[in-house]
A and B are shown apart, each in its own frame.
Chain A
Amino acid sequence: MAVSVNEAVSTGPGRDHTPSTRRRGGRGRSVLEVALLTVLAVVMLFPVLWMIETSIKENRDVYAIPAKFFDFKVTLDHFKDVFAASGGGRSALSVSFLNSVVVAGVSTALATVLGVPAAWAYSRFSVKAKKDQLFFILSTRFMPPVVVVIPIFLMYRQLGLIDNKLGLILIYTAFNVPFTIWMMKGFVDEVPAEYEDAAMLDGYTRLQAFWKFTLPLLLPGIAATAVFALIFSWNEFVFAIFLTSSDSVRTAPPAIAGLIGGTTVDWGLVAAASVVFALPVLVFAYLVRKHLVAGVTLGAVRR
């Protein structure tokens, strides 16, 4: 199966050019299709544009009835409020962003360190009941978080890991490891095992062959996999809201959700915080767009 967005782009002339479509009203139909696509694109993108617009509107315009689409005053106050507290110093939101960076970064690094060697071993060696093991690994990723969080909560309470960044890092690592293994196994399968065999004939051990010859070839795949793991942990909400409570530990998703707790909601601030939160994800997703199909299906679907 062709899989990447790039491949979808570069397939060249499409089917429109087959004689039969050209023969009968192909043109009018093509215009209709473009119009339909445009409408769909506008509908899909409008909420995102509206969010960006709200984040730079003055409060008066945010709550205007009827809604103002174009003639509003631009302000960056909401973005300032995201990072700076009203009394000076750092805001609780900015602390939560920092926590998110730490938790997502460390858990991704751990998942990579644990997952990549395992993926290599699953790809290269004949392991007992390999298929069953791989299926078991993937099914742990499908467990409903609300269900898993009940015993995890009790377990962490015993271990003193409630409201602790280490607790979040551990659980995020655990749900990124299955993804890393499945995604990386695909990449390792693409590197011929003969490279390692050749290196071993030259006197390297299997481990050295992996380290010196296979691993460098895997780096682009590792980078793409890590980016997806980063996005998953960055966006995660369920574990974060149940396992943390204090401002100094909380990650960004529960912190942003906490903005709507009161009787009045500062939607400008919510929008600005959402934009700051979503922007890195969109940039990273764009960087790994070639591997998007594999990434969003947890490494299960590829060519």
Chain B
Amino acid sequence: MSESAPLTIDQPGQVASATPPAPGRSRRLSDRWLAGAFISPALLLLLAMSVFPLLWALYLSFTDYSATRGGPAHFVWFENYTAILTSAQVHLRALTTLIYVVGAVALQTVLGFSIAYLISRRTHGRGVLTTLFLVPMMLSPVVVGLFWRFMLDAQFGVINSMLGSLGLGQVEWLTQQGTALLSLIVVDTWQWTPFIMLIALAGLTAVPKYLYEAASIDRASEWFRFRTITLPLVWPLLLIAVLFRAIEAFRLFDLVYILTSGGPGVSTETLSFHVYKVAFLGFNTGTASAYGILMVLVVLVLTQLYLRYLNKLKED
């Protein structure tokens, strides 16, 4: 008994001496230094390439600066902003953009979710189907725009050719007031339906199967199961996808540029395209900057909304 006593007392001392003395303070300091060294280069680049340009644009937005005329910029304060906010031209572009964003995103959501739902009910060939459906999304807007321009061509276009063989009339898709914006919405929907589909599919496959089993024991109808199980569980993720698409559609420029160049007239001129015209064709750099800053504000609000929902999704 008395011989074993020193052993038990000895042990804690040995453990203590095995760990290096007081690592806490110096390690925390070097961690801090390391975090700074690893993060600051990336942040510096973003400050130089994103924040600084935006601050410069903010400064220019209060002046009458023109990139071609050169010379010193004169402060005009809020003149540019009031000019834009009260301009009937801008209101028209805002309406066009709204129709485009709401139309395209709504169509994509309905179609994308439907396709995802149909795929999720299949047992075979899901992988192949998903991969095939995703192709349009990976293409560059340039390729998509050019190719649809060819397909929608009034003379040689395959769409009109097919309409012709069905005995229907020819449509000047991209050069008519009414159909140009519709064509733009259709092309954007074609390209981005797969995006909604992909995310909806991720949500659908994550719905636990026992919920459906429980519901079918209760003899719940298909529609009831869809409404009370599927939709509520997929909705948060779908909302993220919809917001993401809305931001992207709002800032879209390349498809408009390639497909219609804003025409015919100004019927497909979105806000992005109008900013480009003011800045690079009109060279009213100051006005264009103010216009741009207003667009950035809209994007920031949408981004905040997006990130808030994203956070909510992550916390659940």
Contact = CB atoms under 8 A, between A and B. Distances in A.
Nearest to A284: B138
B90 interface: no
Contacts of A147: 57, 275, 292-293, 295-296
B310 A301 contact: yes
A17 B138 CA distance: 34
B190 A47 contact: yes
A15 interface: yes
A292 interface: yes
Contacts of B141: 235, 237
A231 B138 contact: yes
Interface stretch (A78-86, A87-95, A172-180, A216-224): A172-180
A66 interface: yes
Contacts of B263: none
A174 to B, nearest CB: 3
Given A66-B161, A135-B307, A139-B303, A148 B209 contact: no
Contact of A150 (B140, B145, B146, B279): B279
24 contacts: A8-B130, A8-B201, A11-B205, A15-B121, A18-B213, A37-B118, A44-B190, A117-B39, A117-B41, A137-B42, A144-B272, A144-B296, A146-B273, A146-B276, A147-B292, A148-B50, A148-B54, A150-B275, A173-B45, A256-B146, A265-B150, A274-B143, A293-B198, A297-B244
Contact size class for B? 35 or more
B35 interface: yes
B227 to A, nearest CB: 15
Interface residues of A, number: 109
B32 A144 contact: no
Contacts of A235: 139-142
B300 interface: yes
Given A143-B54, A151-B54, A257 B203 contact: no
Contacts, number: 302
Report the 4 A-B pairs with minimum CB-CB distance, sorted nearest first. A147-B292, A174-B49, A144-B251, A151-B53
B199 A121 contact: no
A137 B119 CA distance: 35
A41 B133 contact: yes
Contact of A144 (B209, B257, B295): B295
B199 A37 contact: no
A139 B237 contact: no
B120 A6 contact: no
Report which residue of A44, A48, A50, A234 has the largest number of chain B beta carbons within 10 angstroms of its beta carbon: A44
Given A47-B147, A65-B156, 11 more contacts: A44-B133, A44-B193, A48-B135, A66-B164, A140-B51, A142-B303, A155-B56, A177-B42, A235-B141, A242-B280, A300-B244
Given A8-B202, A237-B140, A270-B146, A140 B46 contact: yes
Given A150-B57, A286-B131, A66 B165 contact: yes
Contact of B140 (A67, A143, A253): A253
Contacts of A155: 52-53, 56
Contacts of A72: none
A199 interface: no
B249 to A, nearest CB: 11
Contacts of A2: 202, 205-206
Nearest to A38: B129
A297 B151 CA distance: 30
A257 B145 CA distance: 9
B34 interface: yes
Contacts of A274: 143, 146-147
Given A18-B216, A137-B46, A150 B34 contact: no
Contacts of B279: 146, 150
A184 to B, nearest CB: 11
A206 B30 contact: yes
